[in-house]
Amino acid sequence: MSGMQHFDHELSELDRQIVRLGNLCGFDVAQNHIAMSLLEGGVQPASLPEELRKPFVLLKGLLTLRYMIEKQCVDDIGPSHCKQILDATLLK
């Protein structure tokens, strides 16, 4: 699998899980400002109903992982190729 295919597949799978967990927790993570607010601590797990706390913590962890993968993508295959991949993902 080429570098582009690897990142394309990895980000697509990750985005599906992030969107699923976001929907479960009531957050539209496709909106960048919401995703950033979650990452910056704008919502605390204790403020959520008990049954959503674990999915929320997982959501926050996957969002963090996604941004780490984006950085690795840019470092490994370059900004222009990485941008092509990111333009085709669920989370922009």
For the entire predicted model, the pTM comes to: 0.89
Is 3's pLDDT higher than 80?
Answer: no
Tokens of 3: 């570098």
**Amino acid type, 58:** L
Q: What percent of the chain has pLDDT over 90?
A: 85
**pLDDT(2) > 90:** no
Cα separation, 86 vs 83, in Å, equals 5
On whether the CB atoms of residues 63 and 39 are closer than 8 A, the answer is yes
Query: Which residues, including other chains, have CB under 8 Å from residue 33's CB and lie 6 or more apart?
Result: none
For residue 1, what pLDDT is reported?
54
Tell me the pLDDT tens digit for each residue of 51-82: 999 999 999 999 999 999 999 999 999 999 99
pLDDT-based confidence at residue 37 (cuts at 50, 70, 90): very high
